[in-house]
Amino acid sequence: MCGAHGVDEGWDMDFWDVVASIFWFMILFAWIALLFRIFGDLFGDHELSGWGKALWTVFLIFFPWLGALVYLIARGRSMNERALARAQQNEQAFSQYVRQTAGAGTSTADELAKLADLRDRGTISDEEFQHAKAKLLGKQPEPVAPATPTGAR
């Protein structure tokens, strides 16, 4: 019950009891994190059959400490290989996304300069230049009249 100073005598913990409690809490937290990792690997493995996943799940639920240890021994290497393959796949997807988003390295100004150069060299007409410029700038291009060769009637 309560002592003379209102302190519950049931909570008499010294420093080492607190350290031990912290240690066991950390062990519990690490084990829960490991179970999440194991279940993530288990259900992310496309080569393991549904029955295999079910058996591992039952084993991990009914014998959690032993199940986690056996899983790490039996499938630890392949678990790491699958994680590495997933990381490489994510890296490639991210790199592709960055390249796609950044574009081919040419800006709108570069494209306009190329179009102006083609117009100045006479490769494209002024109407074609205006049409391509409007299309490049995202404006509705004006219809280009068909060019008729000079001297032909």
DSSP for the chain, please give it: -B-TTS-BGGG---HHHHHHHHHHHHHHHHHHHHHHHHHHHHHH-SSS-HHHHHHHHHHHHHSHHHHHHHHHHHHHHHHHHHHHHHHHHHHHHHHHHHHHHH-SS--HHHHHHHHHHHHHTTSS-HHHHHHHHHHHHTS-PPPPPPP--TT--
51 with 125, same domain? Answer: no
114 with 84, same domain? Answer: no
98 with 113, same domain? Answer: no
Lowest pLDDT segment from 26-35, 96-105, 116-125, 131-140: 96-105
- Domains of the chain: total: 2
29 with 74, same domain? Answer: yes
Tell whether 54 is covered by a domain: yes
Q: Which range of residues forms the domain containing residue 118? A: 108-137
Tell whether 5 is covered by a domain: no
63 with 128, same domain? Answer: no
pLDDT in tens, 24-41: 999 999 999 999 999 999
19 with 85, same domain? Answer: yes
Global pTM exceeds 0.85: no
92 with 25, same domain? Answer: yes
Look at residue 13 in the predicted model and tell me its pLDDT: 86
92 with 36, same domain? Answer: yes
